[in-house]
Amino acid sequence: MTLAGAMAPGPGPLRRPWLLLWAAALAILVALWLAAAWQPWLTVYPEAWILPLRHWISDAMRWLVKDASFGLFTFKELTRALAWLLDLPLQACLILLSRGFELPLGAGVTVPPLSWLGVLGAMTFAAWRAGGSRLALLVGLCFGYLVVFGQWDSAMVTLSSILVAVPIGVVCGGLLGIQGHRSPAFERAITPVLDLMQTVPVFAYLVPVLFLFGFGPVSAMIATIIYAMPPMVRITMLALRGVDRQVVEFGRMTGCSPRQMLWKVLLPSARHSLMVGVNQVIMLSLNMVIIASMIGAGGLGHDVLTSLRRLAIGDGLEAGIAITVLAISLDRLSQAAANRAPTPVHLRQQQSFVERHALLLGLAGILVGSYLLAFVVPGLRSYPAALTIDTGPLFDDLVEWINVHLFTYLDAVKSALLIHVLIPFKRFLVEAPWPGVALVLGVAGLRIGGPRLALLVAGLAVFIAVTGNWEKAMISVYLCGISVVLAMAIGLPIGILAARSERFHRVAQNVVDTLQTLPSFVYLIPVVMLFQVGDFSAMIAITAYALAPAVRYTDHGIRRVPGEIVEASRMAGCKPGQILRKVQIPLAMPEIMLGVNQTIMMALSMLVITALVGTRDLGQEVYIALTRADIGHGLVAGLCVAFLAIIADRLIGAWAARRKQELGLD
Amino acid sequence: MANPLGTHRGTALARLGTAGRLAGAACLLSGLLATSPAWAASYPESDDAIKMTIHDWTGQYLTTHIMGSVLEEMGYNVEYVQADYLAQFAGLETGDLDVAMEIWETTGKQAMDESLKTGDTVDLGETGMQAIEEWWYPAYVKEQCPGLPDWKALNDCAEVFASPETQPKGRYLGGPVTWGGMDEERVEALGLDYEVVHAGTDAALFAEIQSAVQRKQPVLAWVYTPHWAPIKFEGEWVEFPRYTEECYEDPSWGTNPDKAYDCGKPRGWIKAVGWAGGEEKWPAAYQAIRNFTMTNQDMGEMIGKVDLDGMPADVVVQQWMDENQDTWKSWIPKQ
């Protein structure tokens, strides 16, 4: 509804036929609304009409797990073999980084894991090689945090699963992307699948993954890969397509075979863009740490969950920051590695062996040296507990202080917002007649992108109703809608400020990065303590998480407004405020709308997390299905979340593309 | 809690072997019938790890690790696997998971009965602990609502417990939807002027209770024991008409002749459940699990040490193991 509402008056000339169509659609909507008084099925989709899709999916899944067979072996045996295979590198990493290895000689002879000093030194050294002393300092500080705050052991467990999941995600994603680049038919087939992989909440497919791959860290890793891989596929396709024509021509002229063309010409030229994909895989994998720990991944996610369960907010925060710190150092490291210009081939040949392999030799030296040293100095093997810092109680006291002293004010704000905004808006959406909403969405689709888009969005809306999830979906729309408005209201000004000042830009970027990688669970529990269980707490958590794209895209959009235009308007006598209002923001609007789009995606992806504080939306449905191991129920509710996302994405995407064309920005 | 499952598994493996077998032998000697040495070889019957499930509350972690330690002392390999309380039945039926130490009558009975019906899981008996789950309020609320703990006083105090969203009804904070609990039905059957708000997780539920207690504000919520909250916060359980099976099944029972659920929540056993295949694979281990018993008092104290004093759970487990040798040795089957 809000979406349709926002679309309706769309800027640009309103032509008469459209006006009529809109009037008709809105009239029908209102008529249906009034009719709902004696035709209740218009607002509440009758149970008898619900398509039993969830039971079909559950049955299909049961067949897949119990009976499906390829003759020689069953489907389940295949997936279990795959799980066993994936467990090997994971175990290797765990042995190396976290728990060592017991020699099969008996009598407790063990080979200890790498020393913390070695890993810290190796990471810092790699950072120095890739990005100079500033990066080395950053990475050193990040890993130092893990050591000093006593997060090392858990962090290494988490790092192990990342070290396995990321390469698999990158390679599989890359291969799929290459296939998509080669065959347009494959690309068309895989695009909707990628959409679903990114928008169906992870909880929805955890249960099938558990059934097929067994309980334990490997299942968690597979879920992580499914979630983190799609951007790699997309970026690979995009990067290969974006390779300079001339380079491709040149390759063709020198007589490259298709294989040579791919490996020697296309991939090396697209290296920079491909690294963006790698970066995304790393970040998304770290996003999954908490959820993965719910099904047995252990590590930092597990620490966050157990601390918060004891309401040790400070401890949870420390473990949460450890995840952020890992994410930021891996992110910056991979970016630096991508940006570093490789030594040209003709120079490489003049280098000595040591020069050519300085990185590897240095890493090996640090790791082996510290490893051996640790036999002499046990403090290097595991950091002495007496030297760790614990700031946990500090934060617990802080939250308690806020709770005791400021609650009255917080509560007043909360009550006012709830009574005057949230509850009326919720009621409005829940009472909206579903055929009318689908119709309005269809008209919006027709206006923006033509009949195909219209059919798609209306069809998806009807799917949600037909599977019996309409009311929950509307509650989801209400929660996300309010949060997105709030996130934009906060994010737009910050983004505008960031676009105008370089220093503010840097600060804002760091804050936004932290908000996105800090597990939301960490701030969810203090929020509950201050605002109680319910929609308001959920709204705050969603807003905090969805703020990032609002800031980023606004910043980016305004920066991208061509300098000549700004200059010209200044010459024409615009004041700074006028330039911003009349020139920069309108021109940046398509980009900002893409930010809105991303904000909506983020908000929808938070629904499942906010189910943990007791919302009653699609996220809760997915969560209930997870705990009851009801595969069909979970997947259908998950699909509904995905469809909400796709409706918003297609409408906004089409609008932004059209608008860009009208403004001549492409 | 610096205890990722990985490292623990490491130490568990390291501790195995000789130490376990020695302890096993020692216990045999201390047994009344020091029978033939052949028995010593008869368990562990298999070196395959017994996979025990870990859920999201401290008590269960302790119960499981105590039982796990005893099994390790007997010479078994034990692996701890994080699994969801209700979703785990799927794993228990296939043998992906082997033992779940805490299934509560109050929340897991239905899922357990359904699973037992398949024949793929077996009931490993009661753990001796008694689950209490009921509507709970902090002691200071009594000043505003002196009629408590009698449930009939609840309606007079609805205003006390109300929040802006629920006004004029009172607000009762229930457990996560997945815990069941029949609270909506109870509210209706007993004619209570309350609205049930579900916390999404255990953590959210107790976060709100703690926050209210800090501010000395009224709160009415689902609390269960064994848990640290009723130890830490002084409070009482609302006294509803006593639960009986008829109350839940027969509408005519109780104060409301037309509706069932016009009584309190069942208080009941906490049972262990296992994969049926384990019965043949590790019979002695399953016997030991059947012998496991623990009192609410002991468990409550241990949970308090972990959740309130911040002691590492593994240290608490080890302490209990050291101090209660006779108790756990008596669980190990002797023949």
Domain spans, chain B:
5-128+270-331, 131-249
- Which CATH architecture describes the domain B131-249? 3-Layer(aba) Sandwich (3.40)
CA separation for the pair B204, B207 (Å, rounded):
5
- CA dist A643 and A598 (Å) reads 15
Angle at B145 between CA B141 and CA B149, to 5 degrees: 80
Fold agreement between A156-324 and A393-431+469-666: yes
Q: Which of A49-58, A232-241, B253-262 has the highest mean pLDDT?
A: A232-241
B205 interaction partners in chain A (CB closer than 8 Å): 533
Predicted pLDDT at B57: 79
- What are the phi and psi torsion angles at B271 (to 5°)? -115, 155
Other beta carbons within 10 angstroms of residue B82's beta carbon come to 23
Quote the pLDDT of residue A174. 93
Integer Rg of chain A from CA: 27
Task: Identify the residue among B177, B209, B307, B314 best suited for mutation to test binding to A, counting A beta carbons within 10 A and taking the highest.
Answer: B177
Q: How confident is the model at residue A342 (pLDDT cuts 50, 70, 90)?
A: low
In this predicted structure, the answer to whether residue A223 has a pLDDT above a threshold of 50 is yes
pLDDT, one tens digit per residue, over A489-506 is 999 999 999 988 889 988
Q: Does A108 touch chain B (CB under 8 A)?
A: yes
Residues 164-193 of chain B whose Cβ lies under 8 A from any Cβ of chain A: 164-165, 173, 176-178
| CA gap A252, A255 in Å, rounded | 5
Note the pLDDT tens digit of each residue in A37-96: 777 777 777 777 777 888 888 888 878 777 777 777 777 888 888 888 888 888 888 888
Ranges of each domain in chain A: 113-148+349-384, 156-324, 393-431+469-666
- Pull the structure tokens for residue B314: 């593994």
Of A418, A614, A626, the CB nearest to B199: A614
Give me the residue label for tokens 């490259």.
Answer: A256
Whether residues B204 and A303 touch (CB distance < 8 A) is answered with no
Please name the residues in contact with A342: beta carbons below 8 A apart, sequence gap of 6 or more: none
Q: Largest alpha-carbon pair distance within chain B? A: 73
User: Encoding tokens for residue A644?
Assistant: 């909400």
Interchain CB contact of A99 with B (< 8 Å):
yes
Q: Which of A529-533, B1-5, B74-78 has the lowest mean pLDDT?
A: B1-5
> What mean pLDDT is reported for chain A?
83
Q: How far is CA A125 from CA A137, A149, A360, A370, A380, in A?
A: 10, 22, 10, 13, 18
Contacts of A308 in chain B (CB under 8 A): 203, 207
Looking at the partner chain, which of A303, A309, A524 has a beta carbon nearest the beta carbon of B56? Answer: A309
Which residues touch A130 (CB under 8 Å, ≥6 apart)? A333, A336, A337, A340
C-alpha to C-alpha distance for B335 and B328, rounded to whole angstroms: 16
Number of other residues whose CB lies within 10 A of the CB of residue B184: 15
What are the residue ranges of helices labelled H in chain B? 5-15, 18-30, 38-42, 58-73, 88-94, 105-117, 141-144, 158-161, 183-189, 202-215, 229-232, 245-249, 278-281, 283-291, 296-307, 313-323, 325-331
Q: Is the per-residue pLDDT at A666 higher than 90?
A: no
Asked whether the beta carbons of residue B5 and residue A310 sit closer than 8 angstroms, the reply is no
Say how many CA atoms lie within 13 Å of A318 toward its Cβ.
26
Question: Mean pLDDT lowest for which of A153-162, A188-197, A337-346, A630-639?
Answer: A337-346
Cis peptide before B44 (omega within 30 of 0): yes
Q: Would the CB atoms of A309 and B97 count as touching at under 8 Å? A: no
Nearest Cβ partner for B82 among A100, A296, A310: A296
C-beta separation of B247 from B260 below 8 A: yes
At B19, the pLDDT band (50, 70, 90 cuts) reads: very low
What pLDDT, in 10s, does the model give residues B70-94?
Answer: 999 998 999 888 777 777 888 888 8
Mean pLDDT (chain B) is: 81
Q: How far is residue B190's CA from residue B197's CA, in Å, rounded to a whole number?
A: 17
CB pairs under 8 A between A and B: 173
Contact criterion met (CB < 8 Å) for A210 and B91: yes
Q: Is residue B12 very low, low, confident or very high in pLDDT (cuts 50, 70, 90)?
A: very low
For residue A546, what pLDDT is reported?
Answer: 87
Looking at residue B232, what is its pLDDT?
85
Residues of A in contact with B312 (CB under 8 A): none
Region A291-298 average pLDDT: 77
Query: Cα-flanking dihedrals φ and ψ of residue B219, to 5°?
Result: -150, 140
The listed CATH number (1.10.3720.10, 2.30.30.60, 3.40.50.620, 2.130.10.10) that belongs to domain A156-324? 1.10.3720.10
What are φ and ψ of residue B275, in 5° steps? -70, 135
The answer to whether residue B195 neighbours chain A at the CB level (below 8 Å) is no
Q: Which residues of A touch B310 (CB under 8 A)?
A: 310, 312
> pLDDT value at position A108?
62
Q: What angle is formed at CA B320 by the lines to CA B318 and CA B324, rounded to 5 degrees? A: 125
**Confidence category of residue B8, pLDDT binned at 50, 70, 90:** very low
Q: Which DSSP symbol is given to B150? A: B
Phi, psi of B120 (to 5 degrees): -90, -10
Q: Which residues of A touch B165 (CB under 8 A)?
A: 418, 423, 534
Decide if A104 touches B, using CB distance below 8 A: no
Residue type, A302: H
Give which of A538, A632, A601, A638 is closest to A203, Cα–Cα. A638
Q: Do A309 and B202 touch (CB under 8 A)?
A: yes
Taking domain B5-128+270-331, whether its CATH number is 3.40.190.10 is answered by yes
- Chain B interface includes A417 (CB < 8 A): no
Q: For residue A308, what are its two tokens?
A: 């918060």
Do A528 and B1 make contact, defined as CB atoms within 8 angstroms?
no
In this predicted structure, the answer to whether residue B21 has a pLDDT above a threshold of 60 is no
Average pLDDT over residues A87-116: 77
Structure tokens, A636:
């259908």
Does A568 contact B at CB distance below 8 Å? no
Residue pointed to by tokens 């297609």 = A650
Interface check for B282 against chain A (CB to CB < 8 A): the answer is no
CA A447 centroid distance within chain: 30
Mean pLDDT of A324-337: 86
* pLDDT at residue B289 greater than cutoff 90: yes
B67 has pLDDT over 90: yes
Q: Give the span between the Cα atoms of A322 and A330, in whole angstroms.
A: 12
Whole-number Å distance between alpha carbons of B266 and A177: 56
A9-20 pLDDT, tens per residue?
444 445 567 788
CATH number for the A393-431+469-666 domain, one of 3.40.50.1100, 1.10.1040.10, 1.10.3720.10, 2.120.10.90? Answer: 1.10.3720.10
Answer whether B5-128+270-331 and B131-249 agree in fold: yes
Other beta carbons less than 10 A from residue A574's beta carbon: 16
CB atoms within 10 A of CB B323: 9
Binned at pLDDT 50, 70 and 90, residue B33 comes out as very low
Contact A110 B201 (CB under 8 A): no
Per-residue pLDDT, A16? 67
The pLDDT-based confidence of B5 (bands split at 50, 70, 90) is: very low
A93: chain B residues, CB-CB within 8 Å: none
Q: Averaged over A422-443, what is the pLDDT? A: 87
Check if A309 contacts B (Cβ < 8 Å).
yes
The more confident residue out of B58 and A43 is: B58
pTM of the model: 0.80
For residue A178, pLDDT beyond 60: yes
Q: Contact B200/A415, CB-based, under 8 Å? A: no
Tokens of A12: 């640009």
Closest CA to A222 of A159, A174, A164: A164
Quick one: which of A432, A368, A406 has its CA closest to A531? A406
Q: Measured between CB atoms, does A216 come within 8 Å of chain B?
A: yes
Does the structure show a pLDDT above 50 at B321? yes
